[in-house]
Structure 1
Amino acid sequence: MSEKTRILDSLNEQALLLPSLVNRALAANDRVKYRFTLLQAAQAHAERPDAVISSLRAERLAAGVPDGNLDRVVGDSERLGKGRYRVPEAARIVRDAFSDVTEMLEPLRVAESGDSAAFTQRLQAFTVQDFAGDELAADQIHAITSGDRAAGDSLHLLVMDMHRALNALQASLASETISGCRAYGIRDTDRALIAAFMEGINRTAPLKFDHPGLPATATRVGDKLVLQNDIGTTDAHVLVIHVTGRTVTVTYTDVHLPRLLFFQSLFDGYPVKWEDTRSRKDAGMEDGVYHLCVGSHTARNNTQLRDYLGHLGSRLVFLIDWNRARKRLRLFVPRKAATDVLKWAADGNIGHMAWLKAGGEQLIFDAMSFAYGGQLKPGDRLDDLLTESRAEQFLRFNLKQALEGMAQGRPASLAADEIRTELASQVRSTEDAMLDTALEHAGLIVELADTVRAALEAAQAGRQHEVAAMAERAKDWETAADRELNNARSTLLEGDSFVLQLMSEADDIADDLEEAVFHITLSPTAPGTSISALGKLVDPVANASRELVKALAASRHARRGVPREDMDDFLQAVHAIRTMEHASDLAERDVKRTLAGDPRPFSEVFGIVEAARNLEEAADGLMHVALLLRDHVMGKVIHA
């Protein structure tokens, strides 16, 4: 105990010394954690000298350690043998680390903290070890830097426990509260900066609802205003802000690298210079690794400085339970899309906590069950059913609707109903858009069937030049049908779609009809009886193509509870197509009988034979598509 401390103790005025002791202790905490990282990085480089390394210069400067010689420690470290390393300045690094820990203990002793005696005993247990020279053993480094409580005590664990005690002591010593921030030892000029930071925190803090977090403290250490915020419960989730002049330096550590990168993305519009993100091994953290980044921003003037501090404070709420929200969203969209949704929610001051509290992923599962009913299969993902972009839009709607509902005090069941209705609407609009494309495609099949009929009429009248023109027109219609199918595929980028499957089957009909016209051009001298018989085969095909259009249009309204007359229109159209297919079978036989009795060389009637085959395949295709549509409507819509 120092002389000054003894005097104050005798006067029972320890509190007069405590604020400055706590300031120094917190600065020592920054320094000792840098020294731990330095030893870990030196050991890692000694084990893997070819790996990319960092000098940890940015971390050293952020911790307030002035000795630039330490920047060479990592690169100059080497392995001497199994579990033995040469680490330049090792003895001094370890000695300074113990000195920092002793300085951290001082205010706890003075304040007679309940844990101070236990902390003293733990520290003494480490100081009996002999650390000398530049050589360190692996077990010595482990005893200093380990964060794994299951592996026994370490200096690092002692520092973490003392840091918690210092934060509690710091909160109890606050001489004033500025907009909810406990502050002590500050200057008059600091108050406006603290107020700006707290304005940002308080502006968005309601978005966490009753979740704990975001208490802030402020103090001054030398020429730096130091702001701290409790944004997480894990040891490695730490945010420390240093304000020196108009430069703001943020040191942020996190066990989740994606959240760290997300945090860095929240400063669009502000020139923040981020040092390279560093990963640290620590068995006490989730997955044994945590990550650190340091970012600095220099404001042009004091107004811009306060604006930046406000923005920084306003972003912290979006880190709370971020990883939980991301995992839930990833059930429905890919990793990047989930992060994009959270970024959109943060930029719009919507956040994700309201959605989590309202039910989170269960809201979406319920909506999917409601919207898709019997069509939903185990393992179906939202991005497969809607496309990724539409699924992302729906997730945005979820987060926004959940916040509005909770902010306005609406029942959770109402928000759930609104979300179900929205998804059902999106599903219906997607289906309607696809059905519109299918109707366009079916209309082109009608045009092709009519073109076959016109080509036969021209052939029977001997107008062969018109037949050739009809063949070109049929090719154009078939190309247009292919284009509609491709449009449907681009509308539904991923996943299955019944309408797309239906169009793919129907596209074969368009191919058959186009080939029929082409084959007619190959028999310019075919007898009139053959052409007439072929014309009787065209009629049921053309009529069936029109009935397909009717069936598709009627299917738009075919659902549970539809009026019986609407269903009758659909069923009658399907029945008509089946009747036409039977008629085409009979007409095809007439064509065969006519051709069988024709004495002309086969080469002269070859085109008629092939055209008949094309038309019969088109008729079969029309019936196949009609039955697919009927099964879909009856089995998956009516009974959904």
Structure 2
Amino acid sequence: MEKVDVVTSLGQLQLLRPAWIKAALAANDRLKLYLTVLQAAQAHAEQPNAPLLDLKREFAAAQVTIPWLTDLPGTTYREGKTLYVPDFLRLVALLRDDLRIMARPLAGVGNIVESELDRRVEQWCGWLDALTEDTLDVAQLRALTSGKRGEDDSFHVLVMDLHKALNRMAAELSSETIDGAHVWELQDADRPRVAAFMRGLNRTRALKLNHPGLDTAATRDGERLLLQNDIGTNDAHVLVVQVAGIRATLTYSDLHRQRLAFFQSLLTEIGASWSAPELRVTPGLNAGEAYHVDTAVFDCDGEEALQHVLEGIGSRIVFLIDWNRARKRLVEFVSKVDAVAVLAEGARREVGHMAWLAGGGERLIYGAMQALGADYFHIGDRLDQVMGPAQAKEFLVEVLVLSSQAIQRHQPIALIADETRLLLVRHMRQHRDEFDLLTEHAAYCHAIAEGVRDALAHGHDSDKEAARALAERAKEWERQADLLVVHSRARAERHPRWLPFTRLIEGADDVADALEEAAFLLSLIAADHHQGWRGEVHQVMQLLADAVLTATQDHVKALAIARAFGEESGGVDHEEFVAASWRVLNAERQCDILLRDVRRTLSEHVSDAATLNLSTDFAAALEQATDALLATGYALRKLAFSRVGGGE
């Protein structure tokens, strides 16, 4: 099935005639081969012991690769006046189909010569349809293969006459091109618009490498400029643009709904307004399978904007070639949604995915993962499971970029593999994903500590509703922190290198538990048990809460510095980390003293037993948080120094 058939289904007939002529001339070559095969079969049947004619060059010239047709002459034999030709009816179908392809460009021309040719074509198609057996008599063979003109028309003579008519028609069509687009019957205003489309197309054309496709045709049909691009080799993958005034309308057909959605997103970025996709089935097209068709409209506010849109459309077409193949390979490393996001970013950066596929595709990524070894990746690990979804997407986009740059510079494939491995190493070092869970956990601890400090500052220790709301938020934050611990344990089960970080986050979880307990106790104190939290009591409680918050902030700072430790970290980083660690130590000592001050002050100013007990427990919970911070700080110090070879 020719690509032009889908253009017919999209209703743009004026674009088809040059393509039809091209297809018809190819059909002419095939028809001549078929007739030669029949003549070779006749020769073998008459002289079975003679060597078979060697038709390899003829088959190659016609670009035909059909094993049964190659074997046909050697299997033909004669009995009396009848020629027995195995698979002859299959050959008859080829003769009929290619005869119609040859006649197609002449349809609708309207002159006498072409009308007579059309009548002869229909007559011969009927003659071929009447054949029902794999046999030929002498008269039938002559009617098919004879090239002599006489009273009776022959199939061969009709093919020759069609060929002459096609040559005349081809000569009448302009051979002009605009930046590679085959154009005819254009107006002066059309030329800069075609040039704009081709400017975008040619800017990214090289990204398809040696893949066929991107041939463009343009003509005028009444008030419309028509542009057609065949994209690739699939017969249902076609794009047609109509320009009327300063409005552009794009019709696009695709086998893959996901690729259609991808293209919709690319063109929406330059102002496309899409209709609802339509599912079509066209007889003889795409083996009878359904394909998707959608239409986009671009309402432009002037000629400059229109040309910008046409250039944008042209520049994005290359990213559709082999898109589904690239998507399937990326899904081995990230989710389906993220795989499409990687391809979309590759399109926005105008690097595409073809160079990555040519460089090895998924083998590049697996090779890089294997090179890092079992400390980072095990067999069966997905990239996003180890690096995290966001970082895995970022890495894959950068692989597309380096692959494209290497191919454009004509660098060897082996170099792409080496650069991919180095890139993965840099990502694993830069992102320090093992610290991500610790940092996120510390953020939840900081949020609870800040909530308690702010609650005291705003008098929420006597506001039942506000205190209860804080307790509920703190409980949710503590639950999220617990989930991070569970996540870290699951990672440690797969990768032993995660174990030190898991032990660290398990210790840090005591901080979250203590702070959440303090928030809960504050809600109880505010619930009608508040007697005497004024003056000195409130002041010392505020000092304790301030000290705990400061300690959590220093813990967050220490983590931020530690995650950057490595061979490139300097003395200033080490000094800042030690200073933050010592501040956590001093905070713990300060909170021990403040806890005693709280108890002393409570004993002097609070006589209600419930308030006294709850207040003491509240202060103790805050102090326990600093104890846990101190223990976590020591573990972090040991881990951080081990990363720079400094020991404990």
| TM-score after normalising by structure 1 | 0.50
